[in-house]
């Protein structure tokens, strides 16, 4: 999952500076029109090119029919009663664990998208050239590629909660550098921001599907994680709007950064309350 999700970072690295250059050359209206036309075409073309036929084999259990997966011989299972339940979206949504995880993803993506949506405007407002600001964003993309692979692999060794916590610490350090840049607009500070925040973003991006699988593995996993991802995206949309609203009201991004640090801490706390380690051990902790 870390390797798969690293593609987002490559997209950030390549697309953000390119789109900024495109806006500079042809204006934002034409640039947005070109993005609206070509990006969907590229995605659909790649999907058609790489799409494979569904597997003709079926698992020996079916959660929709109430047949639970076999867990008796799985050495990774800690809570056999939980894992043996035939999870469906409706059954999962009736648990406190589902909603704690939902809130964690909502807050985590709220932090990421608030920064992503407003960072260039913040940099330019503090005197940075727009194209240079886009390079900082591109740096976030390239660092997050390695970060997602690192966190994905590390979470299989030391556990999801500890790994997510390390990512949150990195994210908070990155936002502290933004606060410092707000007070002392020294461009070197932004490179530290880009490194640490991209590592935090990488953790919040790579781990949710793994945590969801630890908790709700089975035939309904796609629907359960799809619903969680919708809540995750709602957090991103709300965060981008809220950051803009607060800036319009207060005229400063400093309160936004402080609020986002609090959201990061609460998101991390929720992951510990969700406690995937109490449901299923990670592979390297078997035995």
Q: With bands split at pLDDT 50, 70 and 90, how would you rate the model's confidence at 286?
A: low
At what angle are helices 221-250 and 208-216 packed, to 10 degrees? 140
The parent domain of residue 17 ranges over 2-52+78-285
Contact present, 270 and 199 (Cβ < 8 Å): no
Residue 67 domain-assigned (yes or no)? no
- Is the confidence at residue 30, as pLDDT, over 60? yes
What was the pLDDT predicted at 111? 95
Q: Exposed/middle/buried for 52, CB within 10 Å: 0-12, 13-18, 19+?
A: exposed
Tokens of 43: 């995605």
Write out pLDDT tens, residues 126-183: 888 877 887 787 788 788 888 888 998 899 999 999 999 999 999 999 999 999 998 8
Residue 57 domain-assigned (yes or no)? no
Q: With bands split at pLDDT 50, 70 and 90, how would you rate the model's confidence at 250?
A: very high
Q: How far apart are CA 263 and CA 110, in angstroms?
A: 8
Residue 182 domain-assigned (yes or no)? yes
Give strand pairing partners of 280: 77
Mean pLDDT of 58-78: 58
Tokens of 25: 């050359």
Residue 277 domain-assigned (yes or no)? yes
Which of 11-15, 51-55, 224-228: highest mean pLDDT?
224-228
Residue 261 domain-assigned (yes or no)? yes
Q: With bands split at pLDDT 50, 70 and 90, how would you rate the model's confidence at 66?
A: very low
What is residue 77's three-state secondary structure? strand
DSSP 202-261: HHHHHSHHHHHHHHH-STTHHHHHHHHHHHHHHHHHHHHHHHHHHHHHHS-SHHHHHHHH
Residue 71 domain-assigned (yes or no)? no
Predicted TM-score (pTM) of this structure: 0.79
Q: How far apart are CA 150 and CA 4, in angstroms?
A: 12
Mean pLDDT estimate for the chain: 86
Q: With bands split at pLDDT 50, 70 and 90, how would you rate the model's confidence at 57?
A: low
**Which residue did the predictor score with more confidence, 47 or 238?**
238
Question: φ and ψ at 122, to 5 degrees?
Answer: -65, -45
What was the pLDDT predicted at 107? 95
Number of independent structural domains in the chain:
1
Count of CA atoms in the C-beta half-sphere (13 A) of 131 = 6
Residue 59 domain-assigned (yes or no)? no
Q: How far apart are CA 87 and CA 79, in angstroms?
A: 14
Question: φ and ψ at 187, to 5 degrees?
Answer: -60, -30
Mean pLDDT of 13-35: 83
Residue 225 domain-assigned (yes or no)? yes
Write out pLDDT tens, residues 111-125: 999 998 898 888 888
Using the structure block, give the residue that is written with the tokens 């790489």. 50
User: What is the CATH classification number for the domain harbouring 132?
Assistant: 1.20.1250.20
């Amino acid at each position: 999952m870390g390797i798969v999700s690293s593609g987002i970072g490559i997209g950030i690295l390549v697309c953000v500076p390119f789109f900024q250059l495109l806006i500079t050359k042809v204006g934002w209206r034409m640039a947005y029109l070109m993005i609206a036309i070509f990006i969907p075409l590229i995605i659909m073309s790649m999907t058609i090119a790489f799409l494979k036929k569904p597997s003709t084999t079926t698992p020996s259990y079916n959660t929709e029919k109430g047949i639970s997966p076999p867990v008796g011989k799985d050495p990774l299972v800690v809570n056999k009663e939980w894992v043996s339940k035939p999870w469906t979206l409706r059954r999962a949504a009736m648990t406190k664990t589902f909603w704690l995880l939902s809130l964690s993803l909502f807050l985590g993506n709220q932090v990421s998208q608030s920064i992503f949506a407003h960072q260039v405007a913040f940099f330019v407002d503090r005197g940075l050239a727009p194209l240079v600001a886009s390079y900082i964003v591109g740096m976030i993309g390239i660092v997050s590629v390695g970060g997602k692979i690192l966190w994905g692999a590390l979470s299989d060794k030391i556990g999801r909660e500890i790994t997510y916590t390390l990512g949150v610490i990195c994210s908070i350090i990155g936002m502290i550098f933004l606060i410092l840049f707000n007070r002392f607009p020294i461009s070197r500070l932004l490179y530290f921001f880009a490194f640490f925040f991209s590592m935090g973003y990488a953790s919040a991006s790579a781990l949710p599907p793994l945590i969801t699988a630890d908790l709700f593995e089975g035939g309904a996993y796609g629907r359960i994680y799809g619903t969680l991802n919708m809540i995750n995206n709602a957090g991103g949309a709300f965060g981008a709007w809220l950051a803009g609203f607060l800036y319009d009201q207060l005229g400063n991004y400093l309160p936004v950064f402080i609020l986002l640090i609090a959201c990061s801490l609460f998101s991390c706390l929720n992951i510990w309350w969700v406690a995937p380690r109490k449901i299923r051990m990670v592979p390297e902790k078997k035995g």
